[in-house]
Amino acid sequence: MRSPARLVTGTATAAVTVIALGLAAAPSAHADNFGRLEITPATAPPGATVTVNTTACGPKGSGIGDANSLDAGDFELRQGTHKEVLVGQFRVPHDTRPGVYEIVVTCDNGKDAVGDLKVIGGKHEKPDHHRPSGHVRTGVGGSVEPNSTQVALGVGVIGLAAVGGLWLLRRRTEPGAESGR
């Protein structure tokens, strides 16, 4: 005969096993109301058009998509090229923050299809620094905004340099410039 401790332990183990199997079976009855929702692309930046499709609504069914989790609103699903597939589209709003968002389709037959969309990039992931624009003001040159006064002064300086250089060359080549002793 078994000891009372072993009898209690065996009975408790059997009870836990039955409860665990019952809990595991319970969601499967509820899971029949959920179908698979394919989301293309599964990862999208703000502004992208996303296509969803499902077979959960049946061959001649219809459904309404819910993308309110990312503020894209509701969208209609229509028959695709395959009779049993419903297809719908929505656009990811430009101000959507990166993250994972649940998309749900509710079918007229009472079933739901659920899928996740991952939003990446966008203005909230970019570094918060300003890019330079315009000309670089280094203090050298003058081509940023040329005006007639600057051009005239530049031509004058070049002209004076040319006249001075000619004067020096002429002075060196004159006869008697060396004999000026």
- Per residue in 19-58, pLDDT tens? 444 444 444 334 445 678 899 999 999 999 999 999 988 8
Separation CA 79–CA 86 (nearest Å): 5
Residue among 31, 102, 110 nearest 67 (CA): 102
Question: H/E element holding 27?
Answer: helix 4-31
Separation CA 30–CA 23 (nearest Å): 11
Q: What percent of the chain has pLDDT over 90?
A: 33
- Type of residue found at 104: V
